[in-house]
Amino acid sequence: MAGTQGGLLCVQHNLLFAGGSHVSMISLTCVSLIAVPASIVSSALRRFHTIFQNMALKQISSNKCCEGFQKVFEHDSTELKCKMKFGIYLPPKAESGKCPVLYWLSGLTCNEQNFITKAAYHQVASELGIIVVAPDTSPRGCNIDGEEESWDFGTGAGFYVNATEDPWKTNYRMYSYIVEELPQLVNGNFPTDPDRISVFGHSMGGHGALVCALKNPGKYKSVSAFAPICNPIQCPWGQKAFGGYLGSDPSKWEAYDATHLVKTYSGSQLDILIDQGKDDQFLAAGQLLPDNFIAACTERKIPVVFRLQEGYDHSYFFITTFINDHIKHHAKYLNA
């Protein structure tokens, strides 16, 4: 909140720490208002009030887990123009200092609950002192005609793009939500180190993780994926989603295709880890196309550790088996 004290403009906001539901009030720097017109003061107060009101979080749940806390919050998204939920795991180290952040992006049909309840990642995140954030996969409750008609487009299938086509372009801006709005919200309300963030995901979320890292050189310290959709403009899932969200011109789709993005990537080195189940039905169906991505990375001399895991499918049983490897991979680059 903001107010005046003895000729000073003082602004406060909430930081939500790991312990229970305790909220600590942190006072920001006070600015002298001497000789400042009242109209300017009033405008500044309204602006500060709007900023912090937009950042307000509603806690939905909090569960102690591996000596930290698994929480779920809801907020009003300015990018998506709807209420959004995200899960966040706060390790015990978050009670005493800033921690690196690892963003998880889920796949088709998922929400913020799938990863936090199925992936069994809490113990290793607790030991390494890493905050893990798991957002939803699409806007919810926007009442757009057709958004509930299929499982691979619309609700639960935002594909981590900024839609350019009606009626999707107003709400379906998951790329900007993941890259900009959500990190600002998390950094403003939790004890994070904003210079130490990484991203990983599964299937559609693996596509999202690769795209976010490749489009933002230096923003993410590392990236990894489980069974990612590597070349969406060449597979049925991607063609359906991109055609609906981005229009009929395939050249516009390349901005969200990891295999194409890696061909022009010129940022800092990304050491990419990908796990793929050999018995994944979607691999056999030509939806994932990892060979195309690996070939593009090889041509550009971008390191990729690709592990084809015998007998594993596309499910969370696969993710749970190798989740510790992925979090430890990120910990190396996050200095955790």
| Whether the Cβ atoms of residue 273 and residue 213 lie closer than 8 Å to each other | no
CA torsion sign, 132 to 272 to 206 to 180?
Answer: positive
Distances (CA, A) of 296 to 147, 168, 220, 289, 305: 34, 31, 20, 12, 14
Token representation of residue 281: 């039905």
Cα separation, 298 vs 287, in Å, equals: 21
In the annotation, is 314 catalytic?
A: yes
Question: Which residue is catalytic, options 203, 257, 275, 329?
Answer: 203
Residue 266 annotated to the active site: no
The span from the CA of 89 to the CA of 97, in Å, is 15
- Token pair 């390494």 is found at 128
Burial class (CB in 10 A: 0-12, 13-18, 19+), 174: buried
**In 155-313, beta strands by DSSP E:** 192-202, 223-226, 272-277, 304-309
Residue 280 falls in the annotated catalytic set:
yes
**Residue 116, H or E segment:** helix 112-118
**How would you class 243 by CB atoms within 10 Å of its CB: exposed for 0-12, middle for 13-18, buried for 19 or more?**
middle
Report residue 308 as tokens.
């084809």
Catalytic residue among 280, 326, 329, 330: 280
Q: What angle do CA 223, 102, 11 make, to 5 degrees?
A: 130
Residue type, position 143, single letter: N
Q: Which member of 314, 326, 329, 330 is catalytic?
A: 314
C-alpha to C-alpha distance for 151 and 153, rounded to whole angstroms: 6
Token couple for 8 = 């000073």
Conformational region of residue 120, where left means phi above 0, alpha means psi within -120 to 50, and beta covers everything else = left
Within 10 angstroms of residue 146's Cβ, the number of other Cβ atoms is: 12
C-alpha–C-alpha distance, residues 25 and 34, integer Å = 26
Catalytic positions: 203, 280, 314
